[in-house]
Amino acid sequence: MYCKKECIAMLLAGGQGSRLYDLTKQTAKPAVTFAGKYKIIDFPLSNCINSSIDTVGVLTQYQPLALNEYLGNGAPWDLDRSRGGLTVLPPYQGSKRSDWYKGTANAIYQNINFIKQYNPDYVLILSGDHIYKMDYLKMLEQHKATGAACTVATITVPMEEASRFGICNTNPDGSIYEFEEKPKNPKNNQASMGIYIFTTKKLIEYLEADEEDEKSSNDFGKNIIPNFLNNGEKLFSYKFDGYWKDVGTISSLWESNMDLIGQTPVLDIQDNHFRIFSRNTARPPQIHGKNSSAKNSLISEGCKIYGTVENSVLSGGVVVEEGAIVRDSVIMEDVVIKSGARVFTSIIDSDATVGEGATVGTENAGKDKITVIAKGTEIAPGATVQD
């Protein structure tokens, strides 16, 4: 009964995101709040629907409660479809075996039957921890034009950071002759974004072979892509030149939030040509009291601002009481900053309270010294919390 789809997406959203520490103790990384009212996973999901890809399997594993609730039936992304749409794919018990997802490739392997029921020509592999707006159809067009077995999306990164990424070494025609995972001496700065388009037949063939290989760590970057190359399959890179950020660390999450503010922000969240969709809550408009100030900031609905907010991103329902100061910070849902409290260069997770006159974070600390306050923390009046 499933109709055929040309291309379906498989979104890897099971990662723990351990380098986000307190922020991902109770929540999977893709469900971490970003840009006030969004979750990280809104970006790849919105990219899919904006690229007319209406069938998305979301592979979950780590702390899926908040994520599953957020995804629901996919309606916020217009992915509540009777044919296709959004399907959450957790690990499951099979008749022969039952396993957690051992690696990115194994996660897809375990869901080969999901892929097969749509009989797609192509499969798009995505991950749920990057902030970017991308039209996957353009990548698919290139994939079709080159006749590649696999196309790897790449982005130019600063040369000094290249050794942190999977680097694609390409011929002048864009075909990849070598893929180096986190090389010590990178030959160039074209980093893999962890986004792949596979011709379905080839993908299934290699996933099945990889599963037979007991030594394999069942990972796309470490095993599948190198195997494609070793066997002389046609591999191409697709150069993406928009905004892209891996928000896998506290400092990159903070930096990416800071990219949203300013007169001409690096990432314009209000750009409606390529809208990002999210699950909306019924909150009243934002309120600004007398003698309040909000400058150079992104402020969501339901906020009550009676103090001072500068260079910050505020999620829904944040209260900044009189005389309180919030600067260079990311404040998530329903945090209360009591009167006279001061918050500098911090990320405060939802439902936390900063007591009267308390100080959180260090003034002008910069991205390497971000103070993180966990969900629901209550900071005593007058206390000082610094990283």
Partner 1 sequence: MAISAAGIIFSSLNNNTLSRLTTDRTVAAIPFACRYRLVDFCLSNLVNANISNIYIVANYSYRSLVEHIGSGKDWDLARREGGITMISPFQTSYASSSPKLFSTHMEALRSMKEYINELKEDYVVLMDADNVVNIDLENVIKTHEQTGAEITFVTAAIPETYTSKTPRMMVSSVADKITDIAMSASYNVKNPELSLNIFVMKTHSLRTIIEEAEAYSLDSLTKLFLANYKSSNYRAYRHDGYVASVSSFLDYYKHSIALAKNPEARDSLLWKKGFPIFTKVHNSAPTVHTATAVVENSVIADECFIEGTVINSVIFRGVHIGKGTVVKDSVLFHGTYVEDNVELNCIVTDKDVHITSGAKLSGNENMPFYVQKKRKI
Q: How far is the CB of 311 from partner 1 (least distance, A)?
A: 9
Segment interacting with partner 1, rule: CB under 8 A, options 89-97, 190-198, 228-236, 292-300: 292-300
Is 296 a residue that touches partner 1 (CB under 8 A)?
A: yes
Q: How far is the CB of 327 from partner 1 (least distance, A)?
A: 13
Q: Pick from 87, 169, 293, 377 the residue near partner 1 by CB under 8 A.
A: 293
Amino acid of residue 60: T
Q: How far is the CB of 40 from partner 1 (least distance, A)?
A: 16
Quickly tell me which residue has 């190359």 as its tokens: 229
Q: What is the DSSP string of 91-109?
A: --B-SS-B----SHHHHHH
Of 308-327, binders to partner 1 (CB under 8 A) are: 309, 313-314
Q: How far is the CB of 371 from partner 1 (least distance, A)?
A: 23
Closest C-alpha to 287, from 324, 319, 259, 326 = 319
Beta-carbon-side half-sphere exposure of residue 22 (alpha carbons within 13 Å): 15
Which segments of 60-146 are extended strands (E)?
85-89, 122-127, 130-132
Of 91-110, binders to partner 1 (CB under 8 A) are: none
Of 50-79, binders to partner 1 (CB under 8 A) are: 75-76
- Cβ atoms within 10 Å, residue 370: 22
Is 298 a residue that touches partner 1 (CB under 8 A)?
A: yes
Q: What's the rounded Cα separation, in Å, for the pair 385 and 2?
A: 55
| Cβ-based neighbours of 343, under 8 Å, separated by 6 or more | 324, 325, 326, 327, 329, 331, 337, 354, 359, 360, 361
Q: Residue 224 corresponds to which tokens in the numbers above?
A: 């599948």
Q: How far is the CB of 20 from partner 1 (least distance, A)?
A: 21
Q: How far is the CB of 317 from partner 1 (least distance, A)?
A: 10
Q: How far is the CB of 295 from partner 1 (least distance, A)?
A: 5
Q: Residue 304 corresponds to which tokens in the numbers above?
A: 């009550």
Nearer to partner 1, 140 or 309 (CB): 309
Of 222-281, binders to partner 1 (CB under 8 A) are: 261-263, 265, 269-270, 275-278, 280
Is 291 a residue that touches partner 1 (CB under 8 A)?
A: yes
Beta-carbon-side half-sphere exposure of residue 88 (alpha carbons within 13 Å): 17
Handedness of CA 180, 184, 189, 195 (dihedral sign): positive
Report phi then psi at 154, rounded to 5: -130, 160
Q: Pick from 102, 288, 367, 369 the residue near partner 1 by CB under 8 A.
A: 288
Nearer to partner 1, 180 or 259 (CB): 259
Q: How far is the CB of 320 from partner 1 (least distance, A)?
A: 13
Closest C-alpha to 219, from 126, 110, 127, 104 = 104
Is 286 a residue that touches partner 1 (CB under 8 A)?
A: yes
Is 284 a residue that touches partner 1 (CB under 8 A)?
A: yes
Is 287 a residue that touches partner 1 (CB under 8 A)?
A: yes
Residue 6: Cβ-neighbour burial (10 angstroms; 0-12, 13-18, 19+): middle
Q: What's the rounded Cα separation, in Å, for the pair 24 and 323?
A: 31
Nearer to partner 1, 16 or 281 (CB): 281
Segment interacting with partner 1, rule: CB under 8 A, options 117-125, 284-292, 332-340, 351-359: 284-292
Q: How far is the CB of 34 from partner 1 (least distance, A)?
A: 11
x/- map, 28-47, partner 1, by CB under 8 A: -------xxx----------
Closest C-alpha to 71, from 126, 31, 100, 43 = 31
Interface with partner 1 (CB under 8 A): 35-37, 75-76, 261-263, 265, 269-270, 275-278, 280, 282-301, 305, 309, 313-314
